[in-house]
């Protein structure tokens, strides 16, 4: 196990495509770091540079106390787990897991013991004699994990390892990976485009966009204090509602003009009058998490600002009900508890309450529906 550090790392492919720009990340010994971002943001490229599968154009990658830029992949002491499990179809589960160790010519008894232990951790003991084609997707993914575990590497590097599994298995394996990583304490970098996976797995999550790191923070901090609009919109499902508004900080009733409506500002925000003045008369973006809106009957405070609109679409999701409504051009989604059945066409009334952050541009309102 080791710390992995990327310092000023950049990648320009031979055809001139810039995939990663000035990436700085320090992953602590034993930490689980998730790299997340939309397709093409450079996360796979970043991981492959750490793995030694892609040349590093700029900057430095260190694993433990070694700069590995010029060290070939096989000598970096890291284990990759890919989305395609890359198992050998003609080999048994036991031989697949032990393959790397056999190549290294470890004594047979030692290989056997290591494979047995990995199989036990992964719940594969009863399947060691089988061939990959006779396994389920989840079991195949476990075999791929097993191959990484037996190598006892300094770091696990995982590239979308769950994306070939169906939704239910994905959730199950996600918990499994979290457990295994915790038990083994191996430094892990995990790439995914799925923000739910990122939030549930990572000790910290690094959000990338167009080759650049946007923010790296523990999941809750990312959620509560997104560093910019991209992170605010990317993290959270359903996504944060982002509304354009104009701030009027000087008025007797300071607030925001949003979609032709006036929103009173939450008390906590009003306290920072100086901070507000900087935004006077300017266009700002109001971010409202869907789950921060609630039904008029359940609202804790009655004195907040209100957003009035009409429910356009109601989606019953079982535990939650999503209500879509439009505020001028913006589409807003609110998350309601299921006992509050809603019909499209009902009036929607929202009120701002406590702010989630200290930024003028973001509030966490309780919205009355
Ligand atoms: P995805 O989730 O779709 O895999 P990603 O975030 O992992 O995306 P990368 O695969 O790292 O993104 O690609 C980053 C950028 O680099 C993209 O614009 C991609 O087209 C480009 N790219 C990737 N591999 C190469 C290559 N071999 N040559 C040229 N450009 C490449």
Q: What is the tens place of the pLDDT at every residue in 204-254?
A: 999 999 999 999 999 999 998 888 889 988 998 888 877 778 888 776 777
Ligand 1 centre to CA of 43 (Å) is 8
Residue nearest to atom 18 of ligand 1 (CA): 40
pLDDT value at residue 288 = 74
Mean pLDDT of 9-23: 97
pLDDT value at residue 236 = 87
- Select from 9, 10, 17 the residue to mutate for testing ligand 1; criterion: most ligand atoms less than 8 Å from CB: 17
Looking at mean pLDDT, say which of 82-91, 127-136, 360-369 comes out highest: 127-136
Tokens of 32: 């689980």
Per-residue pLDDT at 179 exceeds 80: yes
- Give the residue from 154, 155, 150 showing the smallest Cα distance to 116: 150
pLDDT value at residue 333 = 57
Of all residues in the chain, the percent with pLDDT exceeding 90 is 47
Per-residue pLDDT at 303 exceeds 50: no
pLDDT value at residue 249 = 73
pLDDT value at residue 360 = 25
Mean pLDDT of 179-191: 93
Q: Which of 81-85, 150-154, 303-307, 316-320 has the lowest mean pLDDT?
A: 303-307
Domain positions in the chain: 4-234, 241-368
Of all residues in the chain, the percent with pLDDT exceeding 70 is 78
Ligand 1 centre to CA of 44 (Å) is 7
Q: What is the tens place of the pLDDT at every residue in 50-81?
A: 999 999 999 999 999 999 999 999 899 999 98
Q: For the chain, give the mean pLDDT.
A: 81
Atom of ligand 1 nearest to the CA of 20: 14
Per-residue pLDDT at 121 exceeds 50: yes
Q: Which of 165-174, 179-188, 280-289, 304-313 has the lowest mean pLDDT?
A: 304-313
Phi (first) and psi of residue 323, to 5 degrees: -115, 120
CB 117 within 8 A of CB 152: no
Q: What is the tens place of the pLDDT at every residue in 83-111?
A: 777 889 999 999 999 998 998 899 999 99
pLDDT value at residue 352 = 38
Ligand 1, CB cutoff 6 Å, lining residues: 13, 15, 17, 19, 37, 39-45, 193
pLDDT value at residue 191 = 97
pLDDT grade, residue 334 (50/70/90)? Answer: low
CATH of 241-368, one of 2.30.300.10, 2.40.128.50, 2.40.50.140, 3.30.70.360: 2.40.50.140
Residue nearest to atom 25 of ligand 1 (CA): 13
4-234: CATH architecture: 3-Layer(aba) Sandwich (3.40)
pLDDT grade, residue 369 (50/70/90)? Answer: very low
């Amino acid at each position: 196990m080791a710390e992995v550090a990327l310092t000023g790392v950049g990648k320009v492919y031979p055809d001139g495509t810039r995939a990663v720009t000035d990436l700085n990340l320090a992953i602590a010994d034993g930490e689980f770091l998730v790299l997340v971002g939309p397709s093409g943001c450079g996360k796979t490229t970043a991981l492959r540079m750490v793995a030694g599968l892609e040349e590093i154009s700029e900057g430095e990658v260190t694993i433990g106390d070694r700069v590995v830029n010029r060290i070939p992949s096989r000598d970096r002491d890291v284990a990759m787990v890919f989305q395609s499990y890359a198992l050998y179809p003609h080999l048994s589960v036991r031989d697949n897991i032990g393959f790397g160790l056999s190549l290294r010519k470890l004594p047979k008894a030692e290989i056997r013991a290591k494979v047995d232990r990995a199989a036990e951790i992964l719940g594969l003991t009863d399947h060691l004699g089988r061939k990959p084609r006779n396994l389920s997707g989840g079991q195949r993914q476990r075999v791929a994990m097993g191959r990484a575990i037996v190598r006892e590497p300094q770091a696990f590097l995982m590239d979308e390892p769950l994306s070939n599994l169906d939704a239910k298995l994905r959730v199950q394996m996600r918990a499994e990976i979290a457990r295994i990583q915790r038990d083994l304490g191996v430094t892990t970098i995990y790439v995914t485009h799925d923000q739910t996976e990122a939030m549930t797995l990572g000790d910290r999550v690094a959000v990338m966009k167009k080759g650049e790191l946007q923010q790296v923070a523990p999941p809750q901090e990312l959620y509560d204090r997104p560093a910019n609009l991209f992170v605010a919109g990317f993290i959270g499902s359903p996504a944060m509602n982002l509304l354009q508004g104009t701030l009027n900080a000087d008025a007797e009733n300071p607030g925001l003009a949003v979609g032709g409506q006036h929103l009173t500002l939450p008390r906590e925000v009003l306290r920072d009058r100086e901070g507000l003045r900087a935004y006077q008369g300017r266009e700002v973006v109001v971010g409202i998490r869907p789950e921060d809106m609630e039904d008029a009957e359940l609202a804790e405070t009655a004195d907040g600002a209100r957003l009035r609109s009409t429910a356009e679409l109601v989606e019953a999701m079982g535990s939650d009900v999503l209500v879509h409504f439009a505020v001028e051009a913006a589409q807003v989604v609110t998350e309601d508890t299921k006992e509050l059945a809603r019909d499209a066409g009902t009036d929607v009334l929202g009120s701002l309450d406590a702010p989630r952050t200290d930024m003028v541009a973001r509030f966490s309102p309780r919205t009355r529906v």
